[in-house]
Every structure is written in structure tokens, then in C-alpha cells.
């Protein structure tokens, strides 16, 4: 039987299908077009147009169990799906993808940064960013735009970072513009942006053991950030094959169990 | 009517025959508390200043409160500036200070000064303490019914204890309400099972924290500061009472009280609430180091229902505690 996991994130809605612990497929949609095209509210519950989504043939869909997490879950219950807390979903995804049951999870998504500690399969502590999303994927997207680069290009550079100190992701843009005018190389500017992310994340990581760090969320694809994190913490860093779909994979794993 | 910015020796106002008003309670139960904050910000209060300070400012002006006792030591220093701004509006302000070193000499001087200001005597203050003691004992019983018999919800526990700071302005009416509540609560069936939480820190600015936790299957059985407002220790004098009262002094004595209650009340996890921009956020480091239980630090800024992110964090915490219990 197919197990379906859905992670309604701030930047993307992600889907994962699992059968017998194996990933069948992964899909994602940008959040706003996704809600506009496929979602509606019926009697206070979120309804998704699965026919239009065309993820699965109708007969297979009928036999599917679904688990959902993410932002949409807070105010809306999704029709026909069990709702789980985000932390639970991400931990389950990381366990399935890495096969580990003792590690510290660092999940850096569109707006959220989460750190969770798992020991022997039991969640023993966790932390989430509060009030401020300056250490998130959205911040990197904005900064790439300011530098007129792709996110991929931004993610390549970690050496000799230009110092950036603004605590606000929006004021950070004008600070970066100031550094561009000063004539620093693009590589150093990119490294500076990636380094600010590290500076925001380190205080969150501080109270957790760091022997094994599993890094998930879209930011895990930023190899410069991962490099900086490795240099600073000395941790054994594991980026699963599908970091961005980790929450959806976790939901599917919970749906199948 | 005399307003005050945080718990003060209520006995003095009662002895002087003045009607006490805890400005915090008026602010948070206002039909539009967010509007009060907006008024303060339009007047010039910075955005990055505690919501309670701005709320108190709004309450004093909107309700036409003519006299305010401002706690200038033992609470935050923002109160000093608030007092000065209120003075500018022609409001009479009376400073009161809890000495950080708990000196009984300084504290008895402060209480005597307050009594003199309101034209009452220390004998009358002690008599008022005896009167308040009878009501406080009833609230202590409500607290016991919460953690020992599981007949009172965390939200009710919060309400009854937090109200003891000013007894809702009318001691007799408050006592009658407490009697009626006790009679009803004693007949209830005890709540079954579920996770047991402690709530520590200043009272929450969120409107729906307690019912939300109960929906998630977790009940608050210890409200730290609210319980302190009810003066939970048996003492011999008004000075000793406000010496034992932990809230205005160092965090370590607060933690001694918290640790003892966590054990006594068999608490599974702790919610440490901190107000955005409050100096007590720094003390979270010490709280985390000392308490050997799972802790979730919750930050609140403006009044209203819990925001989506805070709900996510609460759900995660409750889920984690459940996993640890299994």
C-alpha cells in the first residue's frame, strides 16, 4: 500500500510517496500557486484537488493513507489526512533517510530553523527560531536576488567572508549593497551571506551534542554553508539524499507505520 | 482608585481604604488590549519595548487613573520611564522599591513610607494582612485542588492566583466568588492522566495558552509567579511576607521554590515564558542550567491568541514529553 506524506511549508508544498520504506516519488509546488490552483476551504477544512494534482491514479489514491504537517496544518485540518507536529515529521524523515537513531537534526527551511536531538529514537530536546526568520532559506533567496545571482551560485562560496552584521534580513540587504559598493569580490560577498546564516544558527546549536549533525531543509543544499558548519563545529555532517523533502518523507513514513 | 505596576504590599492600600487596581490585570482583560499598545506606540513608545509597559500606559490614560504606585526596583527599569511619562500627564506616581539584597531594614522602611504616603499605620497594615490571609488561604486551596486532586484546570489556577494581586479591587466580593468556586470545584471528577506541566516566568500575554495545552492533553499544575502573588508561605509579619515573596529578587531563590514545587507536583515538563524585550530573557540561561527537566522557552510580545509558530512549538514539546513518558 502507498503511504503519502505532505509537508505544507512556507515556500513549497512537498509530497512524498513511500511503499515498504522505499521512496516511490517526490513532488513539490511553490506555495502560492499551489494554494491558488489546488486548494480550497470547505467547512473549515483544507480540501486539496487530488484529481487536478494528478499525483496518483484515482484507484490508488483511494487506498492511500496520508499524513500531513506544516504551516497549513495550524489553522486548517486537511481532509482525509492525519496531522502530525512538524518536529515529529522531520525527525521521522531524518531517521528513515539516514538509518540513524541518535543524532542532532538541523532543519533549515524557508522560514523556520529547527534543532532537534534524538537519542535512541526518542526526541529529547528541540529548539525553533522565534520571531525572526533571518536565518532561513527565504533570506538566502533575497540575498541572491540582491547580488543578481542564482541561489546555486551563492551557495558555492565560503572562503574569506565579508563581515555582515545587520540582525534584520531586510536591513541586511542595504548592508550588502554597501559592501558591493566597497568593491569586494562576488565570491567574498557570497561567503559573507553564507556566514551570516552560520552565525544565526550556532547559538541554537550550542546546547546540543554535535558529534553527528543531520542537516535537512532547502538550506542543506547550500554546500558553502555546510562547509562552514563543518569547519566550525567539527561535526560529522550528514546531508540526506532529499533534504528538502525530508518533512514529507517523514510524514509518509509515519503514514506507513 | 490606586493603580500599581506589579504586585505591591496590597495590605497598605486596603488599610488606607483605597481601591487597589493591578494595571496588568486591567490591561490584559480589556476588550481591546492591542489597541492600548497601539495608543502607546502612537504616543512614542518604541516598538522594541515590553508590551506590558505600553499596555499599562494605555490603561492609566484611558481609565483616568489619577494615582499609580510604580515598582522601580524588583521589576524592570522601564517602569521608571513609564512613571516619568505618566507624571508628565499629571498623574501622581509613588515609587516603591524591593531591595535586591532582601534587607529587612530597607524593606520595612519602604513599606512604612508607603503606609505614610497613604495615611495609614503599620498596625492597620497588619490587620489588613490578617483579613487578606483568610482569602489567600482559599486561593491556596484552589491551587492544591489543581495539583493534588486534579479538579481545577491550569487556566482556572492561573486566574485565581493572578487575581490575588489586587483581589479584583473588592476583597469581600472576591472571597465570595472564591467560596462559590471552591464548592463547585470540590464536586468535580478529577481530570484523568495526561501530561503535567509547570508554567514559570511572568504571566502570559497570550489569551489561549491554557486551553490550547489542555486540548493537546497537557495540563498546567504549577503557575510559578501567579502562586507567588498569592503569598504562599506562612510568615509572621508583612515585612517577612514580602521578603519571602520571590518574584522581585534574584533568580536563584525563585529556582529553589520552582525545584521544590516541580518535585512535589510531579511535573513532566516546564514552560518558561519570557516577554519579548524583557531582561528576564537573559535569565533563561540560568533556568536551563539549573532545572533538570525538559524546558520549552516561550516568547510572547503582543496580546491575543497564540500565533501559528508558537502553536507548532507547543505541539512539538507536548509530543516530545509524551515520547519520553512512553
Query: If you write DSSP's letter for every residue of B63-118 in order, what string do you get?
Result: HT--EEEEEEESS-THHHHHHHHHHHTT-EEEEEE--TT--HHHHHHHHHHHHHHT
Residue B285 within a domain = no
Model pLDDT, residue B27? 97
Percent of chain B with pLDDT over 90: 94
The answer to whether the Cβ–Cβ distance between A87 and B288 falls below 8 Å is: no
ipTM, two decimals, is: 0.72
Model pLDDT, residue A77? 64
* Distance (Å) from the alpha carbon of B312 to chain A's nearest alpha carbon: 7
- Give how far the C-alpha of residue A233 lies from the chain's centroid of Cα atoms, to the nearest Å: 20
Model pLDDT, residue A76? 54
The answer to whether the Cβ–Cβ distance between A126 and B320 falls below 8 Å is: yes
Say whether B45 sits in a helix, a strand or coil.
coil
Residue B62 within a domain = yes
Asked if pLDDT for residue B29 goes beyond 90, the answer is yes
Q: Does B323 touch chain A (CB under 8 A)?
A: yes
Q: For residues B50 and B76, is the Cβ–Cβ distance under 8 A?
A: yes
Contacts of A124 in chain B (CB under 8 A): 294, 320, 324
Residues of chain A below pLDDT 50: 75
Model pLDDT, residue B15? 98
A124 vs B276, B308, B324: nearest CB:
B324
B308 vs A75, A87, A125: nearest CB:
A75
Determine the Cα–Cα distance for residues A243 and A249; give it in Å rounded to an integer. 10
Half-sphere exposure of B94 (CA within 13 A, CB side): 19
Determine the Cα–Cα distance for residues B216 and B211; give it in Å rounded to an integer. 9
Number of domains comprising chain B: 1
Q: For residues A200 and A206, is the Cβ–Cβ distance under 8 A?
A: no
Residue B204 within a domain = no
Task: List, edge to edge, every strand of the sheet that includes A39-42.
Answer: A39-42, A45-48, A77-78
Least confident of B244-248, B272-276, B307-311: B307-311
Q: For residues B151 and B188, is the Cβ–Cβ distance under 8 A?
A: yes
The answer to whether the Cβ–Cβ distance between B313 and A71 falls below 8 Å is: no
The answer to whether the Cβ–Cβ distance between A88 and B311 falls below 8 Å is: no
For residue A47, give the H/E element and its range: strand A45-48
Residue B60 within a domain = yes
* Distance (Å) from the alpha carbon of B135 to chain A's nearest alpha carbon: 40
Q: For residues A79 and A47, is the Cβ–Cβ distance under 8 A?
A: yes
Rounded to 10°, the helix B122-147/B171-186 angle is 20
Q: Cell digits for B86?
A: 505618566
Model pLDDT, residue A61? 82
Residue B118 within a domain = yes
- CATH of residue B43's domain is 3.40.50.11890
- The residue in chain B having the minimum alpha-carbon distance to the alpha carbon of residue A74 is B308
Model pLDDT, residue B177? 98
Model pLDDT, residue B270? 98
Task: Tell which B residues from 226 to 285 touch A, by Cβ distance under 8 Å.
Answer: 276
Determine the Cα–Cα distance for residues B51 and A215; give it in Å rounded to an integer. 36
Q: Cell digits for A229?
A: 558548519
Half-sphere exposure of B50 (CA within 13 A, CB side): 22
* Distance (Å) from the alpha carbon of A247 to chain B's nearest alpha carbon: 14
A71 vs B308, B316, B320: nearest CB:
B308
* Range B160-171 average pLDDT: 98
Model pLDDT, residue A142? 92
Residue B40 within a domain = yes
Model pLDDT, residue B312? 83
Asked if pLDDT for residue B282 goes beyond 90, the answer is yes
Residue B268 within a domain = no
* Range B275-300 average pLDDT: 94
Model pLDDT, residue A40? 87
Determine the Cα–Cα distance for residues B243 and A239; give it in Å rounded to an integer. 54
Model pLDDT, residue B300? 94
The answer to whether the Cβ–Cβ distance between B308 and A123 falls below 8 Å is: no
- Bridge partners, residue B199, by sequence: B223, B271
- Mind listing the domains of chain A with CATH numbers? 3-89+246-256 (3.30.420.40)
* Distance (Å) from the alpha carbon of B210 to chain A's nearest alpha carbon: 17
- Bridge partners, residue A45, by sequence: A42, A77
Determine the Cα–Cα distance for residues A159 and B247; give it in Å rounded to an integer. 49
* Distance (Å) from the alpha carbon of A158 to chain B's nearest alpha carbon: 31
- 10 Å CB burial of residue B90 (0-12, 13-18, 19+) is exposed
Model pLDDT, residue A72? 54
pLDDT tens per residue, range B252-277 = 999 999 999 999 999 999 999 999 99
The answer to whether the Cβ–Cβ distance between A130 and B313 falls below 8 Å is: yes
Q: Does B315 touch chain A (CB under 8 A)?
A: yes
- Domain extent at residue B47: 2-122
Contacts of B311 in chain A (CB under 8 A): 74
Residue B52 within a domain = yes
Say whether A201 sits in a helix, a strand or coil.
helix
Q: Does B148 touch chain A (CB under 8 A)?
A: no
- The residue in chain A having the minimum alpha-carbon distance to the alpha carbon of residue B301 is A131
Amino acid at each position: 500500500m502507498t503511504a503519502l506524506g505532505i509537508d505544507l511549508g512556507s515556500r513549497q508544498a512537498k509530497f512524498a510517496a513511500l511503499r515498504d520504506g522505499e521512496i516511490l516519488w517526490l513532488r513539490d509546488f511553490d506555495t502560492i500557486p499551489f494554494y491558488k490552483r489546488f486548494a480550497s476551504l470547505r467547512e473549515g477544512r483544507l480540501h486539496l484537488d487530488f484529481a487536478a494534482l494528478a499525483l496518483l491514479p484515482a484507484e490508488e489514491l483511494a487506498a492511500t493513507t496520508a499524513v500531513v504537517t506544516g504551516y497549513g496544518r495550524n489553522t486548517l485540518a486537511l481532509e482525509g489526512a492525519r496531522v502530525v507536529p512538524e518536529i515529529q515529521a522531520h525527525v521521522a524523515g531524518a531517521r528513515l533517510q539516514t538509518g540513524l537513531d541518535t543524532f542532532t537534526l538541523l532543519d533549515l527551511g524557508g522560514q523556520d530553523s529547527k534543532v532537534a536531538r534524538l537519542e535512541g529514537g526518542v526526541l529529547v530536546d528541540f529548539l525553533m527560531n522565534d520571531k525572526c526568520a533571518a536565518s532561513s532559506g527565504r533570506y538566502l533567496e533575497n540575498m541572491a536576488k540582491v547580488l543578481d545571482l542564482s541561489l546555486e551560485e551563492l551557495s558555492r562560496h565560503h572562503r574569506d567572508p565579508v563581515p555582515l552584521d545587520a540582525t534584520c534580513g531586510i536591513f541586511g540587504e542595504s548592508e550588502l549593497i554597501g559592501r558591493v559598493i566597497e568593491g569586494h569580490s562576488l565570491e567574498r560577498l557570497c561567503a559573507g551571506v553564507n556566514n551570516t546564516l552560520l552565525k544565526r544558527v550556532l547559538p541554537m546549536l550550542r546546547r546540543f551534542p554535535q558529534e553527528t549533525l543531520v542537516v535537512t531543509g532547502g538550506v542543506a543544499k547550500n554546500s558553502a554553508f555546510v562547509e562552514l558548519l563543518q569547519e566550525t563545529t567539527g561535526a560529522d555532517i550528514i546531508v540526506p539524499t532529499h533534504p528538502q523533502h525530508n518533512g514529507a518523507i517523514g510524514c509518509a513514513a509515519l503514514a506507513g507505520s | 482608585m490606586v493603580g500599581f505596576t506589579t504586585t505591591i504590599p496590597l495590605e497598605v492600600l486596603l488599610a488606607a481604604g483605597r481601591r487597589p487596581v493591578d494595571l496588568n490585570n486591567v490591561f490584559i482583560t480589556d476588550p481591546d488590549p492591542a489597541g492600548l499598545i497601539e495608543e502607546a506606540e502612537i504616543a512614542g513608545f518604541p516598538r522594541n519595548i515590553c508590551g506590558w509597559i505600553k499596555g499599562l500606559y494605555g490603561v492609566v490614560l484611558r481609565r483616568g487613573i489619577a494615582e499609580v504606585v510604580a515598582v522601580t526596583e524588583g521589576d524592570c527599569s522601564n517602569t521608571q520611564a513609564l512613571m516619568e511619562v505618566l507624571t508628565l500627564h499629571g498623574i501622581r506616581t509613588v515609587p516603591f522599591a524591593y531591595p535586591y539584597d532582601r534587607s529587612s531594614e530597607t524593606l520595612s522602611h519602604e513599606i512604612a513610607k508607603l503606609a505614610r504616603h497613604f495615611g495609614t499605620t503599620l498596625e492597620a497594615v497588619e490587620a489588613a494582612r490578617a483579613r487578606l490571609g483568610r482569602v489567600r488561604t482559599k486561593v491556596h486551596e484552589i491551587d492544591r485542588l489543581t495539583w493534588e486532586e486534579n479538579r481545577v484546570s491550569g487556566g482556572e489556577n492561573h486566574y485565581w492566583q493572578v487575581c490575588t494581586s489586587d483581589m479584583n479591587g473588592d476583597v469581600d466580593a472576591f472571597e465570595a466568588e472564591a467560596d462559590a468556586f471552591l464548592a463547585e470545584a470540590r464536586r468535580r471528577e478529577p481530570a484523568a492522566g495526561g501530561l503535567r506541566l509547570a508554567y514559570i516566568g511572568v504571566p502570559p500575554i497570550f489569551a489561549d495558552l491554557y486551553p490550547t495545552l489542555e486540548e493537546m492533553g497537557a495540563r498546567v499544575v504549577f503557575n510559578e509567579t501567579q502562586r507567588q502573588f498569592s503569598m504562599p508561605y506562612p510568615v509572621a509579619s508583612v515585612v517577612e511576607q514580602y521578603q519571602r515573596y520571590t518574584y522581585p529578587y534574584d533568580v536563584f531563590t525563585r529556582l529553589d521554590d520552582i525545584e521544590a514545587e516541580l518535585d512535589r507536583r510531579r511535573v513532566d515538563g516546564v514552560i518558561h515564558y519570557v516577554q519579548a524585550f524583557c531582561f528576564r530573557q537573559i535569565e533563561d540561561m540560568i533556568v536551563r542550567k539549573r532545572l533538570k527537566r525538559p524546558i520549552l522557552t516561550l516568547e510572547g510580545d503582543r496580546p491575543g491568541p497564540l500565533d501559528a509558530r508558537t502553536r507548532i512549538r507547543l505541539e512539538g514539546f507536548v509530543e516530545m514529553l509524551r515520547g519520553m513518558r512512553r
